[in-house]
Amino acid sequence: MSRAKLHNPGRPVSLRFGALEIEAFSISGLASYVAVPAFDACFDLGHCSVASSQLRNVLLTHVHQDHSLGVIRHLALRRMMGHRPPRVYLPMESRAALLDVLRAYERMEEKEPADLESIVHGVVAGETFALSQNRKVRVFDVVHRITSRGYTVIEDSRKLKAIYRDLPGEAIRDARERGEEIHDHREINRLTYVGDSTIETLENHPEIGESEILFLEATHLPGTSPEVSAKYGHTHLDELAALFARRPEALASPHIVLKHFSMKYDASQIRAALETLPAGLRERVTLLI
């Protein structure tokens, strides 16, 4: 295909799911990033726009350049604009190498060294860390060619307990001041982000299908052999269809965003491939093109 048909990585696609607004871009080998302003977070950062630099938290699934190269610009823009230092999360196994790269850029640009040790955080599977006051992130392993992790954002949803709902505001305030727990709490898996991955990740972690919004890769489409996907650690669209047939709970999310399509496909080919997905899955899929 003509490379002129590729999207401009400086012009992300705007998505909206309920009240949640997302800006995202993903083409295999070029760049992937998913910016969620409500979370003050960006998932992967193959390219850093000015808008992405406003988000403090960067959650890298792995350090292939099309998923991580924007971190260099993210740090530089935040420093230039006087923002708080960012928080960059990535697989623990890749932390030292990323620090080496960032230190090399400091030397090349003859900058004063920053406190990168407190900025770059390695994470392991099973770990949970706070994203904000009412949100945390659960980390899980992802099967790819290099060490990779996925992220689920869990939100603490509060609802006033039934016994307080008909009371006047003063009575509710008094109950709170007495130390009474006036809310029922429920954890909701708002969003799960999987970077580059084989279908094994969904086989190993069917619970990620419980998320309201699920970002998955589908690098290759019908007409390309699934062996190509397996060779490079990616997922084939046919594999998602087969998984849905045998384990529909693994793809039960109300909103599934498919991303990371190969450069060799144009938008019309990707839209046509959507029709090959089975009913019950197809209607819940959004294509990131």
- Residue 4 has a pLDDT of 52
- Residue 181 has a pLDDT of 81
- Residue 2 has a pLDDT of 46
pLDDT, one tens digit per residue, over 137-163 is: 999 999 999 999 999 999 997 777 778
Q: Are 103 and 75 in contact (CB under 8 A)?
A: no
Q: What is the model's pTM?
A: 0.90
pLDDT(6) > 70: no
Please name the residues in contact with 265: beta carbons below 8 A apart, sequence gap of 6 or more. 1, 221, 273
pLDDT, one tens digit per residue, over 211-227 is: 999 999 999 999 999 99
Question: Which strands sit side by side in the sheet containing 41-45, from one edge to the other?
Answer: 13-17, 20-27, 31-36, 41-45, 57-59, 87-91, 120-123
The pLDDT confidence band at residue 208, using thresholds 50, 70 and 90, is very high
- Residue 8 has a pLDDT of 45
Query: Measured between alpha carbons, how far is residue 279 from residues 53, 77, 239, 270 in Å?
Result: 39, 45, 15, 17
- Residue 9 has a pLDDT of 47
Picking from 28, 20, 73, 19, the residue whose alpha carbon sits closest to that of residue 51 is 73
- Residue 106 has a pLDDT of 95
pLDDT(286) > 70: yes
CATH superfamily of 10-287: Ribonuclease Z/Hydroxyacylglutathione hydrolase-like (3.60.15.10)
The pLDDT confidence band at residue 229, using thresholds 50, 70 and 90, is very high
- Residue 183 has a pLDDT of 64
Find residue 136's DSSP bridge partners: 130, 154
Find residue 159's DSSP bridge partners: 184
pLDDT, one tens digit per residue, over 94-145 is: 999 999 999 999 999 999 999 999 999 999 999 999 999 999 999 999 999 9
Using the structure block, give the residue that is written with the tokens 């990620």.
Answer: 208
Does residue 266 or residue 198 have the better pLDDT?
A: 198
Residue 195: strand, helix, or coil: coil
The stretch 265-278 carries a mean pLDDT of: 94
Widest pairwise Cα distance in the chain: 68
The stretch 171-180 carries a mean pLDDT of: 81
Mean pLDDT over the full length of the chain: 93
Query: What is d(CA 103, CA 109) in angstroms, rounded to the nearest whole number?
Result: 10
Q: 237-246 long-range CB contacts below 8 Å, 24 or more apart? A: 237/273, 237/276, 237/277, 238/276, 239/199, 240/199, 240/216, 240/277, 240/281, 241/276, 241/277, 241/278, 241/281, 243/199, 243/202, 243/203, 244/277, 244/278, 244/280, 244/281, 245/278
Spell out the domain ranges in the chain.
Answer: 10-287
